[in-house]
Chain A
């Protein structure tokens, strides 16, 4: 049996199980899952009563405009080297982006790893500021870098803890019968981190990223939903353990404390922000350049008024329901963050040409 036959078999079983299941909404929480689902057209292999929604699983997408504007403000005022991952460099605000600043001659450098940003700092007398973005998957590398950083290095922490966002989504009243949890966040946090979400009675499954992983996860969730079983299941057994990467958790705990931070589309999510602890304030851009931020005032981007990224991130609409999708907003000339990132639902749908049936 090859992969295609395997997936067909699972699809058959899903159809069989779903017959008497009523309407089921399953939300996945990772942009890479949306990529698998859309690339392999998995939605077409599901019966009509099983809907797959995409949630706030793209770390670039959920960073609010205010963080981005603060970065722009700093770059304009201070003679720094600014390092970032590539996706973030294209997110626009009021016609500007990090690539815009690079084109204007500001020293913006795209790095693959924060480790590369540290190397730049070691070879420069200027201050290097790294844009720390990403969930629990990326956060340990930033924490390690801070523990090992030279004096002329600091971090703009836009890191956010993902698991509090799940509870927040539920509190917003999002209608979901089951969650497909983010596989790589879970390699760090372990299965145990999801225990506290069990009280909401919604089954969850940690899934791998191959199409058969996702299909099998959907099948397991449908069965659990029918049984009324709100367990945390692990399909990604090749990489995720109950305890996760304990060393990575410890490094994160050493360097970051939590605060209530805003997410695009979700508002303020309690205890989701990763603040650099006071004892490492010499590596925290907010403290190092405190004066530069004193006259910062956020400004609204009028072009984004019709952008519905926030609703896409809550699973309320699909990209096709946004008036800008593939018209004013395209992967080549994006308006909203969800059209920029490789993990953004709008970018993925545009890239693979998803259209209304």
Chain B
């Protein structure tokens, strides 16, 4: 129920966008994120995009390395 999955925005036709979940394309509502643009990554929950996500942090381990450095682990 509270599962939310990141997806890339491919088409925007407010209040609907076509997003891509790693190969699966689906229509989602973007009423809650009116400034969404093609190429953004969004978290999708029960058919609605609820928040933009930082794609660099999603795709790369760089951010977690940085956090580990801050924690004095690396």
Q: Report A's interface with B, CB cutoff 8 A.
A: 1, 3, 6, 9-10, 13, 30-32, 57-60, 85, 87, 112-116, 133-135, 137-138, 140-141, 144, 182, 184-185, 187-188, 212, 216, 219-220, 235, 237-240, 245, 247-248, 251, 341-343
B26 nearest CB neighbor, chain A only = A112
What are 29 contact pairs spanning A and B, CB under 8 A? A3-B61, A6-B61, A9-B68, A9-B74, A10-B68, A13-B72, A13-B73, A32-B3, A57-B2, A59-B1, A87-B1, A112-B46, A115-B48, A134-B2, A134-B46, A137-B50, A141-B29, A141-B46, A185-B2, A187-B43, A212-B64, A216-B67, A219-B73, A238-B53, A239-B51, A240-B51, A245-B32, A247-B32, A251-B32
A32 touches B2 (CB 8 A): yes
Known: A141-B46, A212-B64. A31 touches B1 (CB 8 A): yes
Residues of A close to B18: CB separation below 8 A: none
B46 touches A113 (CB 8 A): yes
Task: Name the distance in Å between A350's Cβ and chain B's nearest Cβ.
Answer: 18
A237 touches B54 (CB 8 A): yes
Give the contacting residue for A248; candidates B3, B32, B47; CB below 8 A. Answer: B32
A144 touches B50 (CB 8 A): no
A116 nearest CB neighbor, chain B only = B47
Residues of B close to A116: CB separation below 8 A: 47
Per-residue CB contact flags for chain B residues 47-66 toward chain A (1 = under 8 Å, else 0) read: 11011111001100101110
Known: A137-B45, A245-B50. A343 touches B1 (CB 8 A): yes
Residues of A close to B63: CB separation below 8 A: 237-238
B3 nearest CB neighbor, chain A only = A32
Known: A134-B1, A343-B2. A188 touches B50 (CB 8 A): yes
Q: Within the assembled complex, what's the spacing in Å between the Cα atoms of A115 and B26?
A: 13
Most buried by B among A9, A184, A239: A239
Task: Name the distance in Å between B62's Cβ and chain A's nearest Cβ.
Answer: 11
Known: A6-B68, A32-B3, A140-B32. A113 touches B48 (CB 8 A): yes
